[in-house]
Amino acid sequence: MTADEKERYSRQILFAPIGEAGQAKIRDARVCVVGCGALGSFQAEALARAGVDRLRLIDRDYVEYSNLQRQWLYEEADAREETPKAIAAARRLHQLNGRVEVEPQVADLTPSNAEELIAGCDLILDGTDNFETRYLLNDVSVKTTTPWIYGAAIGSYGIAMPVDARRGPCFACVYPEPPAGAQPTCDVNGVLASTTAAVASLQVAMALRLIVGWPDFEARIHTLDVWEGASRQMRAGERDPQCRTCGAREFRYLEGQRRIPVSLCGRNAVQLHDSTRPLNLEELAKRLRMVGEVRVNEFALRLEIPKYNLTFFPDGRAIVKGTTNVGLARSLYARLIGA
């Protein structure tokens, strides 16, 4: 370690479970943060400050004013300019720690790109907001023997769990199927910034333990309620020999190639993948200026028309804001881009 590194991370090095040897492992780790919202933005900042020199940030979305209440790293200018979260986060992290190599990926993690986007990373942190993507992460984790840290937050309640199928149960062992019925969401139940910060802090601590070496690893589910001041942990159990994922090695989420339109949590919006071809944003802007107000940069094109705002990305993805009706969103997309 250099003298500058020893000075910068001196307080962390003094923590006995880390020390200089652990700090060197933290420096050399490659960590992937999937989702740069309330959980992921905190994770990314904490990891960069801790000295992880290589971070990959994956996020499909752009910064909005409603994000600023609970999402770290972002400023009003990012919301005003609708900067993609991965890009805004990377810029801010470079300011916080210039030695960190940040690789922003403005992309939606899907079965067709998940392995490629996560390839080469030693650890995955969950900053997502839906079970389908978490099962996809679990498939990638088991298939590539890459551990990951699950986390979720709603209202004042949060949960976190380390997942390493080489030494304990995988996510599908603990949760064989997604919860039945409608689940609480941030747009209905809200969420406290202190909840997401607490959950992300737990995830980062678990990540550091895995990076420096966790000889007494045990998969434990940690839950907390910041409003009630309560916390609890319990064993996640043993690996299930009959588990479809780590037992039978059936990767049903990773093998599903279809990109399904989804309503976005708390956004009154639908994300579409209806284009099989990339979009030339500058050419598209010329055409759409006859339809409504257009703003375009290298990352996205924003179109405002009566009742709706549409954001198009170079990979053909679009977010239609102003409705949760998938059929209506598809109709708008087809009218503007073509079926």
Which sequence spans correspond to the domains of the chain? 3-255, 262-337
Give the C-alpha distances (Å, rounded to integers) separating 180 from 153, 191, 237.
18, 22, 21
Please determine whether the domains at 3-255 and 262-337 fall in the same fold group of CATH.
no
CA atoms within 13 A on the CB side of 153: 28
List, by residue number, the catalytic residues. Answer: 186
Q: Residue 327: what are its φ and ψ, rounded to 5°?
A: -60, -45
Yes or no: say if 294 and 302 are a contact pair by the CB < 8 Å rule.
yes
What is the spatial distance between Cα 48 and Cα 44, in angstroms, rounded to a whole number? 6
Low-confidence residues in the chain, pLDDT < 50: 258, 339
**Homologous superfamily of the 3-255 domain (CATH):** NAD(P)-binding Rossmann-like Domain (3.40.50.720)
| List of E strands, 54-192 | 54-59, 101-106, 123-126, 148-154, 157-163
pLDDT score at 175? 95
CA dist., res. 304 & res. 289, Å (int): 10
pLDDT at 186: 65
Structure tokens at 77: 């200018």
For domain 262-337, the CATH architecture is 2-Layer Sandwich (3.30)
pLDDT of residue 339: 47
Tell me the whole-structure pTM to 2 decimals.
0.85
Distance separating alpha carbons of residues 162 and 141, to the nearest angstrom:
12
User: What's the half-sphere exposure (Cβ side, CA atoms, 13 Å) at 228?
Assistant: 10
What is the distance between the alpha carbons of residues 172 and 174, in angstroms, rounded to a whole number?
Answer: 5
Per-residue tokens: 152 = 């979720």
Contact call for residues 315 and 273 (beta carbons, < 8 A): no
Helix (H) or strand (E) holding 10: helix 10-14
